[in-house]
Amino acid sequence: MTTLSITEYARLARSADGPFVLTGQEPAVAEQEISIGGASTQSAAFNARTNFIMVHAAAVCALAFGDTPTALANRHRLGAGETRFYGVSPGQRLAVITRS
């Protein structure tokens, strides 16, 4: 099974000197995995504390964000093995579909 891994974060991490570091503060708020396939698949709603997410794609795919998103194969491409961070709102969802 090919999956998209989603890690949910409430805030950014801080270095020992105090400035923010461009990565999520661990432990994460929540984690989930959704299947990447030929039909759009939605994640569960993001946690009430989630402000941004890290996604990692095991295969080339396309993403969509929103309250009830539908991923389209010709939009928002994410490459196989790629990891990205996105700002989101609590309660939103992410949808994924396979893409070439």
Tens of pLDDT, residue by residue over 11-55, are 999 998 888 888 899 999 999 999 999 999 999 999 999 999 999
As a whole number of angstroms, the distance between CA 49 and CA 66 comes to 16
Model confidence band, residue 59 (pLDDT cutoffs 50, 70, 90): very high
What's this model's pTM, rounded to 2 decimal places? 0.92
Give the per-residue pLDDT at 82.
Answer: 97
pLDDT at 33: 97
> Tokens standing for 25?
């503060």
Share of the chain above pLDDT 90, in %: 87
| Phi-psi label, residue 80: left if phi above 0, alpha if psi -120 to 50, beta otherwise | beta
